[in-house]
Amino acid sequence: MTIFQPPVDPAARAGYTDHPRRMGFFTDTSICIGCKACEVACKEWNGVPDDGLNFLGQSYDNTGELGANTWRHVAFIEQQVPADGGGDIRWLMSSDVCKHCTSAACLEVCPTGSLIRTEFGTVIVQQDICNGCGYCVPACPFGVIDKRHDDGRVWKCTLCYDRITDGLQPACASACPTKSIQFGALDDLREHAANRVEELHAQRVDAARLYGHDESDGVGGMGAFFLLLDDPEVYRLPPDPVSTTRDLPAMWRSAAKAAGVLAAAAIAAFVR
């Protein structure tokens, strides 16, 4: 069995010999109040089109999921505590976003080079190169990247590349009133997140856990990771995400071996 070995430094792997520290998001859902300021700021700064006011029958969640016109999505999860009923109602809220994976399948399947790794370790789409083939859409294990029906190209969070190159925070992090969304060097954020989990455990919030911080997971760790108060599935996140291109090298090697065997058999038959 081949053990997945994630690239340690995605920017260096992409060819940047001299680059800044890897930047990313840490979203602490324990202090998210569901105000949707991040959604609004993201749309306003990036010119993301309105995706309509959709009454989905899912509490106060009117956007539903991430997509080409929703780069930040605030999930509202209503729970009864205890789960068998008769208890109190609690709300779990979380602002979801593109994970900017260390091993980014969307980037690896793009045939035009539209999807690229930046010097900050993030993954962005170059819209002037995207041909709308859509290969990246099913490649994403989180269902983040999507096509706009009016122009056929794919769109997703850029981690406000234009802002961070000017030394500014992404719009969503700047707008968050509780600092649930935190932006910075990924190593610093991971250290802070680990301390935050210890703090919550000391307060007997035993369910507090990190999601996406582990570099040995199926996507090599995420550039946007989360502190959750319940299982990932509750937040509609895959519990064990895996890069959909992880096994491609082994598959190509197997295909090459099979082709070699067939070629040898064909030559042997011809010689006879």
State residue 2's pLDDT score. 39
State residue 82's pLDDT score. 72
pTM assigned to the model: 0.83
Return the beta strands (E) in 106-223 as ranges: 115-117, 123-125, 146-147, 154-155, 181-185, 209-211
State residue 64's pLDDT score. 79
State residue 149's pLDDT score. 86
Q: How many CB atoms lie within 10 A of CB 8?
A: 11
State residue 224's pLDDT score. 97
The answer to whether residues 29 and 96 touch, using CB atoms and an 8 Å cutoff, is no
State residue 80's pLDDT score. 81
Query: Which portions of the chain are predicted below pLDDT 50?
Result: 1-7, 247, 249-261
State residue 79's pLDDT score. 85
The answer to whether residues 53 and 64 touch, using CB atoms and an 8 Å cutoff, is no
Q: Is the peptide bond before 238 cis (omega within 30 degrees of 0)?
A: no
Rounded Cα–Cα distance for residues 189 and 227 (Å): 11
State residue 267's pLDDT score. 63
Rounded Cα–Cα distance for residues 131 and 152 (Å): 8
Rounded Cα–Cα distance for residues 93 and 61 (Å): 10
Residues contacting 255, CB < 8 A, separation 6+: none
Amino acid at 212: G
State residue 29's pLDDT score. 97
- List helix spans (H) across 36-98: 37-46
State residue 4's pLDDT score. 43
For residues 122-160, one letter each, b for 16 or more C-beta atoms within 10 angstroms of the residue's C-beta and e for the rest, the string is: bbbbeeeebeebebbbebbbbebbbbeeeeebbbbbbbb
Coil/strand/helix, residue 218? strand
The answer to whether residues 141 and 219 touch, using CB atoms and an 8 Å cutoff, is yes
